[in-house]
Structure 1
């Protein structure tokens, strides 16, 4: 199949996990998407095929990135200071620095301008009107430890009309039917409250300069972890990257009698730039024995920068 993007248009708010339940962010990583697709594949009886496709590279997934109208956004490449000394000396330098710091994503159509130092940070920030983050107060009616109902806050994000998130999907494996089914189930947390449900639209990914086997400078589009044999001094020499800890609890109700923690791992985040590529893998992150494996998707998707 051709490289494609899957644009998600949500029918209500979304709740994606962060450090706290009260946080309300608007994107998730490829591992969250793969886990959701894997659950749908189990229901459809094709989980083994999905896992095999991911492990051998017949299915590559990016992290979720925002879109506003017809404009797709990509992670801001970690390529150092891309503005010239002359431009840094302008009167608007302070405003641009603040706008640069706030922007996590830039328009795909302006990527070359960013790389050549001609990017308008202030204008891009003003146009990035994705939606609204908010928190809702809920009440815990479990009174085993207290006579009073205990309130708590759930963070969520509501997208503006015509806005949402998208994933880049590469490879021969056809995951589009799983995306369609996932739209009814929803993605992220608090799905029993109606969060995370969407309709999916498939479009061509012609605007991306993918790098299948990077031998020059390339940017990650997915949260990825190299295999042990791929993690070498040569890989990180000259690279600019950020690491994020990935952990959490096993959500499966058949894995064990109680909630079990996943094995923590560290992943390079999207926007990280490397002079050499790696493949990554789908890792078993079982920290304690359970009735079935627990996987974390950490394959690498690359884009030339």
Structure 2
């Protein structure tokens, strides 16, 4: 593990909205990791790896070192790429992961068969809801506590399964590639946190916009050679504040990002606890995700070390900084895995 950076420093938050010009193929390890499987969102650790790889391939070593220094020092944090959609009214809805504590919050037993059936239906409906509007997260918490059903629209696009043919062998063999195509009025967004005391904060904000523009032209995720993953920024980044700009959700995001005193702190980026974080992490409710795999070069594929991350939606009692992991070496350079947390404060009931 590498240094954990600073924790608890006042941060300024910025929001970037991404519109996709092509379907995306984001690996879905929890569904087997095959080409036929995909997921809709991209984790912050995968995004960091994509940004670092593109900067390195472009020979932008100064920009890469600036990015590494900013995250290592705790001057910069960012979220997963999470879904947004535009309403017919013109308001933009920003969604966050379903909290991991949702199954633990209601400990009361049903008093009748009918109430038991209603509770079961409510839990099944809530389990299907992977993402919740930021402005409705407290309503979701209250509904779970009371055992009430909670419905949320999770319509951002559609999964597509296309057949391809591998002609490299003696016989052509079919295979399938899964992808996700966003609706025209939907996409993904990124929250960037910059340390208020960082004198280069505005430069980091502009640099992130330039970097997103750059990788949007080449695409992110898998199957980029087939044109997948290309996007553009819908607008300039906005400063999150109490004053909502897009609708209710950006204001709600700011309130929860700033709420360090709430009973639960939900991660919206994967967290790799450092040694100093283990005790605090032990008191949380979380989802684990294993990352590892291979480092592939022109000569060979070498297995990387693996680590388990506390995935987005994990809920802790306090905000821990997290850390950066070194999973191996590639051509003399360390293979890094981003594991610094970014949190939303959620109050029970």
- TM-score range with shorter-chain normalisation? 0.7 to 0.9
Contact 2:259 / 2:345 at 8 angstroms: preserved in 1? no
Residue in 2 aligned with 1:281? 323
Residue in 1 aligned with 2:5? none
| Cα displacement (A) at 1:83 | 9.2
Please say if 1:14 is aligned against 2:24.
yes
Q: Deviations over 1:68-97 (max 9, x none)?
A: 211111111223235977899287544322
Alignment partners' CA distance in 1, 2:211 and 2:259? 25
Please say if 1:148 is aligned against 2:171.
yes
Please say if 1:60 is aligned against 2:77.
yes
The 1:58/1:214 distance shift into structure 2, 3 A limit, reads: farther
Secondary structure of 2:302's aligned partner:
coil
Please say if 1:48 is aligned against 2:65.
yes
Residue in 1 aligned with 2:266? 219
Contact 1:168 / 1:205 at 8 angstroms: preserved in 2? no
Residue in 1 aligned with 2:276? 229
Residue in 1 aligned with 2:42? 28
Residue in 1 aligned with 2:192? 169
Please say if 1:97 is aligned against 2:128.
no
Please say if 1:81 is aligned against 2:94.
no
Alignment partners' CA distance in 2, 1:179 and 1:105? 23
Alignment partners' CA distance in 2, 1:159 and 1:187? 14
Contact 1:210 / 1:302 at 8 angstroms: preserved in 2? yes
Residue in 1 aligned with 2:183? 160
Relative to its length, the structure with more helix (as a share) is 2
Computed over aligned residues only, the root mean square deviation of the Cα atoms, in angstroms, reads 2.6
Secondary structure of 1:178's aligned partner:
helix
Alignment partners' CA distance in 1, 2:215 and 2:42? 15
The 1:215/1:229 distance shift into structure 2, 3 A limit, reads: farther
Q: Unaligned 5+ residue runs, structure 2?
A: 1-10, 87-91, 195-200, 242-251
| Cα displacement (A) at 1:229 | 3.0
Residue in 1 aligned with 2:345? 304
Q: Unaligned 5+ residue runs, structure 1?
A: none
Please say if 1:190 is aligned against 2:223.
yes
Please say if 1:123 is aligned against 2:151.
yes
* Match of residue 238, structure 2, among 173, 196, 203: 203
Residue in 2 aligned with 1:3? 13
Contact 1:7 / 1:165 at 8 angstroms: preserved in 2? yes
How many aligned positions are there? 294
